[in-house]
Each structure stands twice: as structure tokens, then as C-alpha cells.
Structure 1
Amino acid sequence: MSRIISYSTADQAHIVAFLGAGDSLSADQRDHLAAMRESAQAHQLRLERQDIDWGLTVPDALDHLIAGHADSTAEYAANAYYTALQHIIDANASDPADLGSYSKPSTFFGLLDDELRRLGVDADLLPHGYLFAGPPDGIPFRLPHPMDGSPDFGRLPLAKAKPAADAYRRVLDRIDPDLTYDVRVLIDMLDEEHDNWIWARERLDWYTQDTLFFSIKG
């Protein structure tokens, strides 16, 4: 089954601030939380229509994360926690866009990493590293990883979007032709997100987004 990689931008600190916040949320955060709970409940209803039972509902998982723990012993609780975290990200991020659909994205981008590494691209700019980087930094408690690897997260500081795009562009004419299209997709996405980031930083005094988040589902 194919997995879809989508992306959006957000302020990582705004997302982490919800995790373990408990009753200390600001009025604005409570408004965001209400939207998260609504989307989490809608997600849970979709799961139930598919007869999917993780042993922990998405709304309950969201409440656990806000309370500051992810310690359910249900076999598939990690799926619920990761899904709830995605709702926290979505409520604080730009509208998502799809990067693409891949049958085995971890394998594919691992091979792409090998090719780019061979051509001299720095390790911290290799795509598998950021596409599968995991949840945001700074979560104040352990978050279990889904056993089946879905959903999953990635993240890249927006400050690295242009360096990554430039690094790929420099070696594009030497990349295995079977990989060229996918590298161009990455370059176009990174260029656009960098340009949007620069535009917003220069013109919007309230703008604090600093991270490109990736979501891998399917």
C-alpha cells in the first residue's frame, strides 16, 4: 500500500507548548485545543467506520498528550498518540500540501540518500534524515513509536530548506536518471517553502514559523 508524504510549516515551539501544558493553556491555546478535539473526534469516527480499534481513541490520546503522558498499555496506543500529535501540528501549521505517494518511502529515500551522499551532499541535508526525523524536539515525555511505522513524522528547519535545495541542484546532472524526477520535486518544494518563509519574515511581524513538518501516512 502506498504512503503519502505531506508537509506544512509551523513554529515548533508552539506545537511543543501544548504537550504537557495541562490546565495552563492560554485563551488562544484553548481555542486551538477545541479545534484539535473536534478534528480528533472526526478522525476517530472515520476509524470506527473502518472497524479500526487501536485500544485508545484519538481524542483520549490527545488528552493524554496535553496532560503530559503517553503511557497507555494498549497494543496500538502509539498509533493513537502519533495521530493525536498530528492534529496538534495541523492546528498550528499552514495548510498541508502533498509531496507525493510512495510504495516504500523509507526504502526509496534511503537509496536516494546513498546516491546524494556519493555525490558529496552533506549528511544533515539528506532527505531521509529529515523526512523521517520523528516528532518535534523538546517533547517532555516519552512518545512511543507505532509498531507498523504509520503514521510517522519528519521535520526540517526552514533555514535549511535553501541549503538543501542548492545542494541537490548542484549534483542534479550527475544523479541516477531514475531518481532525477523525485529530486526535482524536492528542489521545487524546498525552493517554494524557502521563498514563502523569507517573504513572511520580512513582511509579517507576528510570523514565527521555523520548521517544515512532514507527515507520512498510509
Structure 2
Amino acid sequence: MSHNIWYSTADKADVLAFLGSRGNLDDNQQHRLADMRTRARAYQGELMRQDIDWGIPVPEALEHLLAGHTDSDSEYAGAAYHAAMQIIIDHNASDPGHLGTYSKPATFFSHVDEVMRNLGVPADLLPYGFFYPTSLPAGFPRLPHPADVYPAIGYLPLEKAKPAADAYRAVLGQLDPSTRYGIQELIDMLENEHENWTYATEKLDWYTQDTLFLALT
């Protein structure tokens, strides 16, 4: 089974405003919330057509996050909570871009981590850590782990995009040719997002995005 990796950028505070909000949202946020609920219902409809049951419907998981908890004890609830969290992120983020399609992305990036670590790439810049973090950013709830790993949410502070890209480019020529293309694509994405972030923070007084989010489906 293939897995897609998508990326977008957002201000963590915009996402956090919906978590545990209990209705304390302005008109613009209420409009976005209505769209989130519509998307959650559509997502659940897609699951039902595939006979997939996560034990808690995605719309209910979304309401749990809005209320500030993740109380379901269903074995597969982690997948529903991750799907719901991704919906909240998507409605507060830039348009998504597609990084790539992998048959086993966890295996790929775990292997790349091991090689890069031996080549001197700092631990906090290794890709597996931000594709598969042990938790979301500070202030976000701890989501139950999806039973089959996906969907998953990764993140990287935008201030680390350029250091990570530079570190990968420095060792790119020493990587196995079978992994080099995927890492080049990652470098290109990180450099582009860094350029966008640098320009926006310098030129746009309303811009506050600080985080690159990754959706693995």
C-alpha cells in the first residue's frame, strides 16, 4: 500500500485556538469550524464506503478535540483523532503541497536517519523525528497512537527548515542512490518553504506562520 506525504504551513496559535475552544471563537473561526465539520462528515462517509470502522466517527473525534479531550478508548481511536486534528490544521494552514508517495515511508526515513546520523547530521534535524514525532507541538493534546500508524501528523518549526536542508545537502552525495532522489525532493521543499517564510516574515506584517506540518496518509 502506498502512502502520500503532504505539507502545509500554519501558525500553531491558529490551530490551538480550536482545541478546547468550547465555543470561544470569533465569526471567522466559526465559519472555518463549520467547514471543518462538513469535512469531517465527508471523511467519515469515505470510511463507511470502504467499510472502515475506527470505533469513533471522525465528526465525534473532532468534537472531542474542540472540547479539549481525547477520551475514546476504542482500539483504533488514534486514527480518528489524527484525522480530525489534520482537518483542524488544514483549515488553518496554507494550501497543501505534495512531497511524495512512498510504499514504506517509515522504513525509508528510519534508514535515512541512521545513515545521516553516522554522517554527522544533528539529531534534532534528522527527518524521521519530524515525520513521526512522539508528540505534537507544545500545547497540543497527546493523541492516541493510530493502531496501524496512519494517518500520521509530523511537524517542523519553520526556523529549522533551512538548517535541515543545509545538513542534508552536505551529505547528499554520500547517500545511497536509491534514497538520494527522495532526500533531494525533501531538500527542495524545505528550501522553498524557508524562502517563503523569510520573505513573508520580512514583508508582510500580518504573517505569523511558524510551523511546517506534514500529513502522512
Q: Say whether the fold is shared (TM-score over 0.5).
A: yes
Amino acid at match of 1:61: A
- Distance in 1 between the 2:101 and 2:107 partners? 13
- Residues 143-162 of structure 1 correspond to what in structure 2 (within 5 A)? 143-162=143-162
1:14 is matched with: 14
Of residues 12-21 and 83-92 in structure 1, the stretch that sits farther from structure 2 once superposed is: 12-21
Deviation at 1:118, TM superposition (A): 1.3
Q: Superposition pairs for residues 37-116 of structure 1, below 5 Å?
A: 37-116=37-116
Q: Which residue of 1 aligns with 2:124?
A: 124
Mapped to 1, the partners of 2:80 and 2:95 lie a distance apart of: 22
In terms of mean alpha carbon deviation, does 129-138 or 179-188 score higher?
129-138
The answer as to 2:188 corresponding to 1:188 is yes
* 1:120 shift after superposition: 0.8
Identity of aligned residues (%): 57
Provide the TM-score with structure 2 as the length reference. 0.95
Q: 1:139 and 1:149 mapped to 2: Cα distance?
A: 22
Q: For residue 66 of structure 2, what is the amino acid of its counterpart?
A: I
What are the Cα deviations for residues 113-149 of structure 1, in whole angstroms up to 9, with x where unaligned? 1111111111111111111125532346442111111
Please list every run of 5 or more consecutive structure 1 residues that lacks an aligned counterpart in the other structure.
Answer: none
Looking at structure 2, the residues matched to 135 and 196 of structure 1 have their Cα atoms a distance apart, in angstroms, of 26
Residue 174 of structure 1 deviates from its aligned partner by: 2.0
CA contact (8 A) 1:134 1:152 kept: no
Asked if 1:28 is matched to 2:22, the reply is no
> What RMSD, in angstroms, separates the aligned Cα atoms of the two structures?
1.4
> 2: distance between equivalents of 1:207 and 1:140?
21
For 1:151 and 1:140, the matched residues in 2 are separated by 17
Cα pair 1:14 1:92 within 8 Å, conserved: yes
Letter in 2 for 1:9: T
- When normalised by structure 1's length, the TM-score is 0.94
Deviations 1:47-69 (A, max 9, x none): 11112222211111111110111
Encode CA deviations 1:33-57: one digit per residue, 9 max, x unaligned. Answer: 1111111111111111112222211
